[in-house]
Structure 1
Amino acid sequence: MQKGINSTRLQSLDALRGFDMFWIISGEGLIHEWAKASDNSTINWISSQLHHSEWNGFTFYDLIFPLFIFIAGISMPYSIGKQLANPQNTKLFILKSLFKRTIILIILGTIVNGLFKFQGYENTRIASVLGRIALSCLFAGIIFIYTELRTQIILFFGILIAYFLLLKYVPVPDFGAGIFTKEGNLSAYIDRLFLPGKLHRKVYDPEGLLSTLPAICNALLGVFVGQFLRSVNISKIKKVIAMSATGIVLILFAWAWNPIFPINKIMWTSSFVLCSGGFSLLFMAFFYLIIDVLEIKFWIAPFVWIGMNSITIYLAAHGLINFESTTLYLFGGLIQQVAITWQPVALAGGIVIVQLGFLYFLYRQKWFLKV
């Protein structure tokens, strides 16, 4: 846990990271319970968006993971760029720190998967959300350190096209080439052959080996945005317009590609990268406009608390702390005073309050987990 905060941080980025994390730590639970307790059409629609697509398609919940990788990519030109500007830091030194971070996140990911409940290697899931974040950011970081922007852009499109060609034209035994089903796609086949330990979905893993390759492009897209925000000398409003326009173009290209290479989070298809990247740009443009351009900041504090300790709260909410028991201990009497139909909503709301209180304490103490 690192103590201290950099006052020059991009607040819109911390707020967007916190907004993104909010939905997977407690926000989705609150909305789902609210939808069950009410007949509100708006809440029901939001609840429907907080589920992953069954296979092909795109929902808001499908955006959360790639948006986090995109945000991590935006941070690189600021964090790594600052290190590169220090003559005492060699590229090899920075690379070693990236590898160290990658190893730590992969280990933390296996812990979230239940490593300490070890039931044999064959029942241990190695692939994880944190592992994919680590690997995609590692390779994006290497590309950022050792190449110029032109090469980075070529690699971005090259990876997307190469991944498409692999899944489209490399045959899978017993299925053939270009089969985009759960069992028949090349990415799932590679997972069954080479992914260590247990597969999350028996015939494939949503954070598998080959499908991590295009996730690098979500991080690279963030790297492009970070360099753009940090270095390009134009007005902030023009940056908002540029990000918004680029986001819309990427979404249009994604839907044009969709009939040939379907938008699919599990396979992390190239069209999915463009679609999720486009929406990531739109969200970043909106947060940047509201927070950094218009300076409307009264609402961002809870999201900043989450965003500044995103890894901490992810680990805490996924097994390290039982927030439900804590909430019942603190607010159980009050929850019982609520109508039975709404008690699950009150409990979910209490969990949000407890988590935010925990994060506010860490923020006030200036304790931030840095990996």
Structure 2
Amino acid sequence: MQKSITSARLVSLDALRGFDMFWIISGEGLIHEWAKASGNPTANWMSSQLHHSEWNGFTFYDLIFPLFIFIAGISMPYSIGRQLENPENTPFNILKSLFKRAIILIILGTIVNGLFKWQGYENTRIASVLGRIALSCFFAGLIFLYTNLRTQIILFFSILLGYFLMMKYIPVPDFGAGVLTKEGNLAAYLDRLFLPGKLHRKVYDPEGLLSTLPAICNALLGVFTGHFLRSSAFSKFKKVASMAVSGVLLIVLAWLWHPFFPINKILWTSSFVLCSGGFSLLFMAFFYLVIDVLEIKFWIAPFVWIGMNSITIYMAAHGLIDFEATAIYLFGGLINKIEASWQAVALAGGIVIVQLGFLYFLYRQKWFLKV
């Protein structure tokens, strides 16, 4: 058994995590300002891809969140697999640490939502991006610990099909069954009934209760990928080809399902899981090929700095540190000498530099927030 697996760290996984996070900490701001200042068609297209779909549909920005969950899933066969190889670590002990991690992430998510600006329970949003990551990864970890691969695959498809059937056929009072509008869908109705605190969008929450269920499948898809990458039964090029083909297949299946259960990030529909999972596999195939197979690594350092401290920079960029004020303090004089229409671009670039400098310092000091 020991000969059939490899435990080498995937540098591509850290780089892909950093690439994913870059767009929501400062990358999107830089692209948006570049598009405004230049009117460049490429910049305009990139800027359009850095907005969420209004309802149904899919953009690159819709991929960022499920890609992060997918990456977390890939790491499970490596991190949990290594722990299980130690006889002193029982599945229950590992489960306790996964539960503790989930609770910490949920608390951090409420802090990002403004917990310390306490304005009463009814004005406090409990659901969050970090909360969804916590719950989806906890349950995927539970499944990974206590089931075999065959059962995991069965659960993956059962969850996607079960969510589809619930959303399509369980009636919502005053709306009926299968109504997938912002107010009339089952997930929004259950959030209005049971989700603690306030809803992010008044009548629904994009990180609500029922819609977290299919997000477990993004993590499970990562688990399957981690199983495959950790195996030594296939060559690296076969792994790349298999991930690429599987990614394309999932995207095709997603769009075939789309007319019946639309690709929708807010509802986190089953077709959205397949679409985002397919693109996640394509990105993983590319990063794995370039970094771990061809070993072209000269460009990855900034993404590794981000990826190794992803939770730290997410928290910092969402309210804990004013990177814009720091950039103005450091580069304000230089920015003021630039043509007025390009000053916002320069400021956005300054924010990127400050954040990368902060992360490089943490990386050099080997200070990593491990949750």
Deviation of 1:202 (Å): 0.3
Within 1, Cα distance between the matches of 2:161 and 2:91? 29
Residue 232 of structure 1 and its aligned partner are, at CA, apart by 4.3
Code of the residue aligned with 1:249 in structure 2: it is L
Q: For 1:363 and 1:171, locate their aligned partners in 2 and report how far apart those are by CA, in whole Å.
A: 51
Which residue of structure 2 lines up, in the alignment, with residue 305 of structure 1?
305
Instruction: Output the CA distance in 2 between the equivalents of 1:259 and 1:33.
Output: 35
Give secondary structure in 1 for the equivalent of 2:197: coil
Partner of 1:341: 341
Amino acid at match of 2:66: P
Look up the match of 2:356. 356
- CA distances 1:140-174 after superposition (whole Å, capped 9, x unpaired): 00000000000000000000000000000000000
1:209-248 matches, within 5 Å, as 209-248=209-248
SS in 1 for 2:39: coil
TM alignment of 1:268-283, pairs within 5 A = 268-283=268-283
Matched, 1:17 2:17: yes
1:187-198 mapped onto 2 (5 Å cutoff): 187-198=187-198
Q: SS at 2:295's partner residue?
A: coil
Alignment of 1:16-55 (within 5 A): 16-55=16-55
The code of the aligned residue for 1:297 comes to: K
Amino acid across the alignment from 1:360: Y
User: After superposition, what is the alpha-carbon deviation per residue over 1:29-73, rounded to whole angstroms, capped at 9, x for unaligned?
Assistant: 000000000121001000000000000000000000000000000
Residue aligning to 1:4:
none
C-alpha separation between the residues in 1 aligned to 2:176 and 2:62? 28
Structure 2 partner of 1:327: 327
Identify the residue that residue 172 of structure 1 maps to in structure 2: 172
Aligned equivalents of 2:281, 2:184: Cα separation in 1: 32
Shift of 1:194: 0.2
Match of 1:367 in 2: 367
The one-letter code matched in structure 2 to 1:242 is: S
Aligned-residue offset at 1:234: 1.0
The aligned counterpart of 1:117 is 117
Q: Which runs of 4+ in 1 moved over 2 A?
A: none
Partner of 2:3: none
Q: Offset of 1:233 from its aligned partner?
A: 1.2
Q: Distance in 1 between matches of 2:88 and 2:363?
A: 31
- Residue 8 of structure 1 deviates from its aligned partner by 4.2
Structure 2: distance between partners of 1:200 and 1:73: 26
Give the Cα separation in 1 of the matches to 2:90 and 2:66: 30
What is the alpha-carbon distance in structure 2 between the residues aligned to residue 92 and residue 249 of structure 1?
36
Q: For residue 231 of structure 1, what is the amino acid of its counterpart?
A: S
* Aligned amino acid, residue 362 of structure 1: L
Q: Please give the per-residue CA displacement for 1:105-136, whole angstroms capped at 9, x wherever unaligned.
A: 00000000000001010000000000000000
| Distance across 1 between alignment mates of 2:48 and 2:232 | 39
Counterparts of 1:180 and 1:253 in 2: how far apart (Å)?
A: 20
CA RMSD of aligned residues (A): 0.7
Report how many residues are paired.
Answer: 365
CA distance 1:232–1:153, shift in 2 (3 Å): farther
Kindly indicate whether residue 66 of structure 2 is the aligned counterpart of residue 66 of structure 1. yes
Taking structure 2 as the reference length, what is the TM-score of the superposition?
0.98
Shift of 1:9: 2.2
* Cα offsets for 1:71-123 (capped at 9, x unmatched): 00000000000111100011110000000000000000000000000101000
Partners in 2 of 1:205 and 1:369 — Cα distance? 28
Q: Report the Cα offset of residue 364 of structure 1.
A: 0.6
Structure 2 counterpart of 1:62, which letter? D
Partner of 2:153: 153
